[in-house]
Structure 1
Amino acid sequence: MAVGESLYSVQRFGDYLAAGAVGIVQVDVARIGGITPWLKVAHAAEAFNVAVSPHFLMELHVSLAAAVPNGMYVEHIPQLQAITRSSLLIEDGQVAPPDVPGIGIDWDPDALDDHRVA
């Protein structure tokens, strides 16, 4: 069973892991509160021999999943293409994390302005 798309705390993930009620953790960096709590969940999952397959924001999650030994898959939801200047290279179903500094998202300020609400 995969859980995590709607979990919002490290403790809730810990509850599922401790109960043996999860086979894949789908922790979402935006919903869990950032990179540090995301890593806490990923490492807790590793301690229970559970894979991590993050939910949403593939542009950011590919680097995070690559940074932990139990990273499994990255969900492909290309919703940011309209507001970013770069995209991930996907070949034969594989994606590599970007090799530039930062969080992996190259925002397009002009495209963001087009969506600004006045």
Structure 2
Amino acid sequence: MAGHRRMSASIGGPVAVGESLYSVLQRFGAYLAAGAARIVQVDVAHVGGITPWLKVTHVAEACNVAVSPHFLMKLHVSLAAPVPDGIFVERIPQLQAIKHSTLTIEGGCLAAPDVPGIGIDWNPDALDDHRVV
């Protein structure tokens, strides 16, 4: 964390952290309190679900820190849409091979799905094709 803080202060650009942080207060809160990040890459699967994810975004907003979710883009695009400082959603085109539908990009922006559910529609047959036994 100290290294991220020094890097953030010295490079003049934003430092993003979070894709490997797993706790709202102990990790994200500590990074934000220390000024060690200007962008949090919070991952709903790593932080414990939608409620803790939202807590991280609220803490980030209170610290004037942007949010750029990590992974699970079909879920994160809907979660990030109302976040005031939601700047990017990670897009991993390689995952398209194991899903039924794709995200729509309109004017350079991902469009949030307009169907019920969390947005991820895994293709079980395709998952079987990629299973390592």
Answer yes or no: same fold by TM over 0.5.
yes
- Tell me the amino acid that sits aligned with residue 5 of structure 1: E
Q: Which runs of 5+ in 1 are unaligned?
A: none
- Residue ranges of structure 2 left out of the alignment (5+ in a row): 1-14
| Aligned: 1:43 with 2:20 | no
Structure 1: distance between partners of 2:93 and 2:80: 17
* Higher Rg of the two aligned structures: 2
Q: Quick check: 1:58–1:78 contact (8 Å CA) kept in 2?
A: no
Which residue is 1:5 aligned to?
19
- For 1:101, the equivalent position in structure 2 comes to 116
How far 1:26 sits from its partner (Å)?
0.7
Identity %: 78
Mark the CA change 1:79 to 1:32 in structure 2 (over 3 Å): closer, same or farther.
farther
Q: Distance in 1 between matches of 2:63 and 2:95?
A: 33
Secondary structure at the residue paired with 1:113? helix
- What TM-score, normalized to structure 1? 0.90
Task: Kindly state the Cα deviation for residue 5 of structure 1 after the two structures are TM-superposed.
Answer: 1.4
Runs (4+) of structure 1 exceeding 6 A deviation are none
Aligned length: 118
Aligned pairs for 1:1-118 within 5 A: 1-11=15-25, 12-116=27-131
TM-score normalised by length of structure 2 = 0.80
Mapped contact 1:28–1:56 kept (Cα < 8 A): yes
Distance 1:108 1:117 in 2: 16
Residue 89 of structure 1 deviates from its aligned partner by 0.6
Structure (1/2) with the larger helix percentage: 2
- How big is the shift at 1:15? 0.4
The AA in structure 2 aligned to 1:112 is L
* d(CA) in 2 for partners of 1:75, 1:66: 13
Which amino acid letter does the alignment assign opposite residue 62 of structure 1?
Answer: V
In the aligned structure 2, how far is the partner of 1:14 from the partner of 1:69?
A: 18
- Tell me by how many angstroms 1:61 deviates: 0.9
How far off its partner does 1:113 sit? 3.2
Equivalent position amino acid for 1:6 in 2: S
